[in-house]
Amino acid sequence: MDDDIEVIRELFDRYTELWVRHQMREWGELFTEDCDFITHRGVWWRSREENVRGHEDVPESVLAQKKNYSQTVVGVHRLGPEGMLVHTEWAWPEHVLPGATAAEDRRGLITAVLVQRAGRWLIRAAQNTRLNGLDDFAPIAARGFEPVEHP
């Protein structure tokens, strides 16, 4: 299993590298053809092609900010001989939404299920969740956030 964990960590290093460089077609090759990806806003893409097209459609102002993005694998758990559950934590400091005047430091978690296909680990499903996207819950957001604890 240690070899698999190392391969998966390398896969997510590559994921982050391609994401930052906005090479979404190559990034998409890390996913199965029939993948599911749920964005932090709740948009559900149900194929590699939908996932790639959705992630390609980004304003130029956001593309320039991708250099600030980072991601770390915080957990890998075997689901069986050909399945893994992976959790990553991402950070995107100084992110400015199109039309916004103020930057914000964004953070989130990705939960991914990986499967082996033809001897390769690929992402079959992913759920992206913002940790500091609680604008609708000002009393909760005002308390701040503790770092995510990892076993």
Per-residue pLDDT of the chain (151 residues; tens, 9 = 90+): 589 999 999 999 999 999 999 999 999 999 999 999 999 989 999 999 999 999 999 999 899 999 999 999 999 999 999 999 999 999 999 999 888 889 999 999 999 999 999 999 999 999 999 997 655 454 544 545 455 555 4
Contacts of 57 (CB under 8 A, 6+ apart): none
Q: Give the other-Cβ count within 10 Å of 55's Cβ.
A: 17
In angstroms, rounded to a whole number, what is the distance separating the alpha carbons of residues 49 and 29? 10
